[in-house]
Amino acid sequence: MHDPMAMRPFFGYNTGEYLKHWLSFADKPKLKLPKIFNVNWFRTDDNGMFLWPGFSENSRVLEWILQRCDGEDVARECPVG
C-alpha cells in the first residue's frame, strides 16, 4: 500500500475516525488553527547542487516562520500555496 507519510504503523486506532476528526475542523469557522509551513530541503540550482546549505542554517527557516507569524510579507507565491 502506498504510504507517502509513513504513518500507517503508528495508527493504533480507527484511521477513518482520525481523519473524520481532523476534517471536521472545516465546520468550525471560529476555530484558531495553527499555521502550517512548507520547506523544500531538496531544491537544487541549475547545476544540480542543493540550495540548502545544511542543518547549521535551520535558524533561517525559523526566522522566516516567525516573520510570517508576525504578519511580515516575506513569502513568495508558489504552486503549493
Long-range CB contacts for residues 71-76, cutoff 8 Å, separation at least 24: none
Task: Tell me 39's DSSP state.
Answer: -
Show the cell assigned to 65. 516562520
Identity (one letter) of the amino acid at 39?
Answer: V
Q: What gap in Å lies between CA 39 and CA 68, rounded to an integer? A: 13
> CA 20 → CA 3, 15, 24, 48, 57, distances in Å?
18, 8, 6, 41, 37
Q: What percent of the chain has pLDDT over 70?
A: 88
Q: What gap in Å lies between CA 19 and CA 11, rounded to an integer? A: 11
Partnered with residue 16 across adjacent β-strands are none
pLDDT, one tens digit per residue, over 43-62 is 888 999 888 777 777 788 88
pLDDT category at 5 given cuts 50, 70, 90 is low
Mean pLDDT, the chain, whole residue set: 81
67 or 10: which carries more pLDDT confidence?
67
Evaluate if residue 32 carries a pLDDT over 80. yes
Mean pLDDT value across residues 11-37: 83
